[in-house]
Amino acid sequence: MKDFNGKVAFITGGASGAGFGQAQVFGRAGCRIVIADIRQDALDDATSRLRAEGIEVHSVRLDISDRAAYAAAADEVEAVFGGPPQLLFNTAGVNSFGPLENATYEDFDWIFGVNLNGVINGIQTFLPRMIASGRDGHIVTTSSMGGFAGSATAAIYNATKAALINLMESYAITLPKYGIGASVLCPASIRSNIADAQDTRPAHLAANSGFRSDEAFIELQRRLYSGGMDPVELAGHVKRAIENNDLYILPYPETKEAVRAHFEKILDAFAARDSDPEGAQQRAQAFEEYRAEAAKTAGSTK
């Protein structure tokens, strides 16, 4: 996709941070912007700032973990703009830190509910509408460099982000036949307010947590993210990736060697010497035959 003029872009977490940067960059490129966020005060402020730039914008208050609310938001977008978005940015996310062994069900439910289920809800809600429209499109999901490895203190967050990488790799395989691209953005650090994500945690999931949420720790996180990449700069990388139809958006070269070392450990774990090379060859052939047959029949299973 090279021309963004007049296209509708739906951005979750669009009232601040990476989402607001995307709203600015794609709005300046001519997109009609929909920002969705759970915080009405942030939506109001972001809407005013975007309109001051001359950007056409519509705001929707949305809890992305609520499927019924997502469907209503999609209906509202179609009512306002006459059709579904051509650009879907799954940008909203939350985090909480603490030793994994201290995690509660509520910690898992909140982080998975927003970071993974929220993305699933967005794609499941909009993708059928995007396909039915017959127009070109692109879906960008924000994962994290943390999705490439485990973590002692951000384990749940990293697990959700790993799932998103794999999910978008799968969409990149399946969506081109519809004229829809797929990309996964993996930031390392963004100048954002994710340190204050606890403010949006529902009461029934906040009462029992094994992780830290005291003001001193939150302030430490604020200082960490204050040195992150500017959201507008990050959104510029996203725009170029869409123009080039790139799957991976990895604009943090300082993390490359750590990723390389991680995958080298995985490769080193393969047996150095196969005791049954003929059997391995037969298994590989059988698997390739299965993959080819599955690819031919997948379209007829629905």
In the sheet with 32-37, reading across from the earlier edge strand, the strands are 57-61, 32-37, 8-12, 87-90, 137-142, 180-185, 248-249
248 given a catalytic annotation: no
Q: How far apart are CA 286 and CA 9, in angstroms?
A: 43
The one catalytic residue in 157, 248, 252, 290 is 157
70, amino acid identity: Y
Residue positions annotated with a catalytic role? 157
